[in-house]
Amino acid sequence: MLLVRLAVLVLAATVSTMSTTANARGRYLALGDSYTIGEGVAPAERWPVQLAARLRAAGVDIGDPAIVATTGWTTDELSHAMDGATLAPPYALVTLLIGVNNQYRGRGLANYREEFAALLARAIALAGERTERVVVVSIPDWGVTGFARAHKRDPREVAIEIDAFNATAREIARDRGVAFVDVTAISRSAGDAPDMLVGDRLHPSGAQYARWTDAVLAAARQSLVPR
C-alpha cells in the first residue's frame, strides 16, 4: 500500500491461490491492494483467507480465495491488473477493498468515484451479475498509525479524506445493491497498538485482520445464502 512499490510495479497480476481445493468448492475472488494481499503477514493471516476459513467453519462450502492485489495499487492499477489476470467467473463471492493509495497520492474524489464504480461493475460481472454475491469493504484509516506520525501526516486531514472516499464507495455500493462493510472504525480503535500492526507500523497484523473478518463474516455469509 503506502510503501508504494511503484518503481517495480507489475500490472499483470498473478492470481494467488491458497489451495487447489477451491476447484471443488464455491470460488472466492478478493480484489484490492496491500490490505487484501496482507502486507507483512503470513498468507494464513490475510483477512480474505481468514474469512474463507471462518465461512467453512460455519458450514459454507467455499474455497480459499484467489487474490488479485498488490501493495501500492490504486483503482486504475487494480483494473489494469485484472485485465492481465486469469480469472474464472462466475465467483460465489467477490470482495473489493481499494482506494487508500488514491487518497495517499492525492488523487481527487471525482476520479475515485468514476474508477471505483467501474471496478464494482466488473466485480458484479465476475459474480455472474449477482449483486448479492459482492461485498465492498471500507478503506481503513492509516492516519492513526506510527507511519503517519513519522511522515508528519495530519491524522485529522487523513481521517476527513478517508471518510469522504468511504462515503463515496458506500453510496455507489448502495446504489448497486451491494453490501458495504465498515472496517474503518476497527482500524481507528486499533490505533498504533503494537499487536495490531506489523513491523512497518502501518499495515494491520493478523490480529487486526481477525477483527476485520468478524465484521465481514455476516455479510459474506448472507451473500452465499441460496436465492
- What distance, in Å, lies between the first and last C-alpha atoms of the chain? 36
Instruction: Give the CA distances from residue 87 to residues 43, 94, 123, 203, in Å, rounded to whole numbers and listed in that order.
Output: 20, 12, 11, 27
Dist CA 115 CA 122 (whole Å): 11
Residue found by looking up cell 467453512 in the block:
56
Give the pLDDT confidence score for residue 227 in this predicted structure.
Answer: 67
Give the pLDDT confidence score for residue 223 in this predicted structure.
Answer: 87
| Tally of CB atoms within 10 A around 20 | 9
pTM over 0.95: no
Give the residue ranges of the chain where pLDDT is below 70: 1-24, 227
The pLDDT mean for the chain works out to 91
Exposed (0-12), middle (13-18) or buried (19+): which is 120, by Cβ within 10 Å? buried
SS3 assignment, position 225: coil
**Amino acid symbol at 158:** V
Full set of structural domains in the chain with CATH: 6-223 (3.40.50.1110)
Q: Which residues, 6+ apart, have CB-to-CB distance to 226 below 8 Å?
A: none
Edge-to-edge, what's the strand order for the sheet holding 66-69?
16-17, 66-69, 28-32, 93-96, 134-137, 179-181
Give the pLDDT confidence score for residue 3 in this predicted structure.
Answer: 43
